[in-house]
Amino acid sequence: MKRKVFAYPYIVWMILFIVIPMFFIIYYAVNVNGQFTLTKFISTLKDVGKWKVLWASVVMAFKTTVICLLLAYPIAYILSNMKKSVAGFISVLFFVPMWMNFVLRTYAWQAILEYLLPGLKKFLGLEGSVLMVLVYDFLPFMIMPLYNTLSKLDKSLLEASRDLGASSAMTFLRVVLPLSVPGIVSGVTMVFIPAITAFTVPALIGNGMYHLYGNEIELAFKTLSGQGDYAVGSTLSIILLISVLVSTLIMNHFDKDQKQGGQLW
């Protein structure tokens, strides 16, 4: 018996539950009550409001990513310069929340902003509050890859740079920062893409008053009164899938540039 055989159960599973479900999104986008029709598909594509929400979600995801990066880099940098055993211990503190149910943590923020710090909610506004909780949710996902990259950095390179007369600011800008780009890229991918599709945070923090693209999709499928509009929801999902694939391709492109650059070392 060839070893190939061991993969057959998976191949069947993959076709049934990975490939075929994707086609059903397309099927339901152009089918209403079992009849082929393009009207819903085209009217959804033409809906300017939905495109505006998509743009707002991309902007929100971008802001989340930038703030996460600015907050996480110093954390990862400080940790990477600590004694190994101490850093290992403190880094666990930063990663524990990642394993804790994030819907529960978002629910806690909803309560905090409502009862404990209503002033903060007023100061940030709805949009600002959603942004803060998104940053909160994704921060550990930015710290982790940055910490991994920075702690593996060859410390003798920094000494060499200092020996050759660079100031510590110069060493950071010319040596540490360029060498940590792989960590930045993987952190950005881990935050930006999921942040575009986030719908739990706006739903809970915005109390239904603030919508991102994920909420539009959610509302299309899960209306309070029975079955939602599958055609609209599926079309919105196709748009989302295409935008995410394009962003991933762009980011992979940067990643590849880095890998080629990295071969110099």
Stretch 133-172 residues interacting with other proteins (CB under 8 A):
136, 139-140
Stretch that binds other proteins, among 46-54, 61-69, 122-130, 217-225 (CB under 8 A): 217-225
| Cβ density class 246-259: b for 16+ within 10 Å, e for less | ebeeebeeebeebe
Site for other proteins in 88-107 (CB under 8 A): 88-90, 92-97, 99-107
Cα distance between residue 94 and residue 75, in whole Å: 9
Size, binding site for other proteins by CB under 8 A: 81
Among residues 122 and 261, whose Cβ is nearest to other proteins? 122
Stretch that binds other proteins, among 45-53, 80-88, 155-163, 256-264 (CB under 8 A): 80-88
Structure tokens at 82: 């600590």
Tokens 């780009």, located at residue: 181
Among 68, 203, 212, 232, the residue binding other proteins under the rule CB under 8 A is: 203
Bridge partners of 35, per DSSP, are 32
| Cβ density class 17-29: b for 16+ within 10 Å, e for less | eeeeeeeeeeebb
Among residues 110 and 186, whose Cβ is nearest to other proteins? 110
Tokens 């999902």, located at residue: 237
Site for other proteins in 12-31 (CB under 8 A): 13-14, 17-22, 24-25, 27-28
- Which backbone phi and psi does 211 adopt, to 5 degrees? -115, 135
Among residues 9 and 49, whose Cβ is nearest to other proteins? 9
